[in-house]
Amino acid sequence: MKSRAVGLLLGYTADRMLGDPRRFHPVAGFGTTAAAVERVLYADSRTHGVAHTALLVGGAVAFGVVLERRGPPRVVATAIATWAVLGGRSLEREAGAVHGHLIAGDLPAARQRLTHLVGRDTALLDESEVSRAVIESVAENTSDAVVAPLVWGALCGIPGLLGYRAVNTLDAMVGHRNARYQSYGWASAKLDDLANLPGSRLSGLLTLVAAPPRAKVAASTWRRDAAAHPSPNGGLVESAFAGALGVRLGGTNTYYGDRIEDRAVMGDGRDARADDIVRSTVLARRVGALAALTSVLISLRGGLLTRPSRPLG
């Protein structure tokens, strides 16, 4: 289990230093494969959607099993897989880019760059709303793209890393509540909710640890506001961040196609400002580092899936 722990730590460090690969990203390759499978399997049917999810997630897990048992040395393979599935550094860069446009007074550029982080219509957002959207994305994606994959990697090794990223990617592709994916994307969306349960809870707890002066407020905000969020996982992390940062998150979101969603307000603080984006990325960085250490401790205690020991003699 030491090799798993060291591999996770090396992969986390690589993500912090390098961010996502600029070209030939494995997750992008998986997305291309998923789109091809969708073209073959698509029908307005939950059954077809279940088949889509099972085939792609099962394939990712199976590849992870082969890689762990027959691939390069486990520490190397785990480090590469961890680096490939984490997205903390790239998330911070995107948030920083929006912040840079805001402090330069270029609101149109900030709105456009925000589309790299959120799937909502950003055309009419003011500075506070742009800042709020960035902080919400930083909070939720710290859980989805850093904490949760580390947890699954610690518990299940490379199959856990690749399987989790497959689930999360499919949810981003087809887990939408619209006419095309209401049925077909149902399985991916539900499986993503399930896969993120442990990571989101750990993210909330680590947010309290990472912000000691605001821990009590963050905890009370979590208890009071998280359940009102439409996601069983996103609301937990966003409410903890809102309390830790002393800002209000949530409210009205406008999506493409004129769909408007009124979300519950989380937190009792002031409206978000541009400088709160930097504060949120600092908090996210601390949560990620604590998650890496936690994943090491889980790995050293054995995880769930381990390679059988070879017999002596």
Per-residue pLDDT reduced to its tens digit, 277-311: 999 999 999 999 999 999 999 999 876 655 544 44
What is the reported pLDDT for 260? 81
Greatest extent of the chain over all pairs of C-alpha atoms, in Å:
71
Amino acid at 182: Q
Give the span between the Cα atoms of 163 and 58, in whole angstroms: 7
Rounded to two decimals, the pTM is: 0.92
228, 261 contact by CB (below 8 A): no
Render pLDDT for 27-52 as a digit per residue (tens, 0 to 9). 999 999 999 999 999 999 999 999 99
Write out the two tokens for 70: 């027959």
What is the reported pLDDT for 303? 62
Spans in the chain with pLDDT lower than 50: 308-313
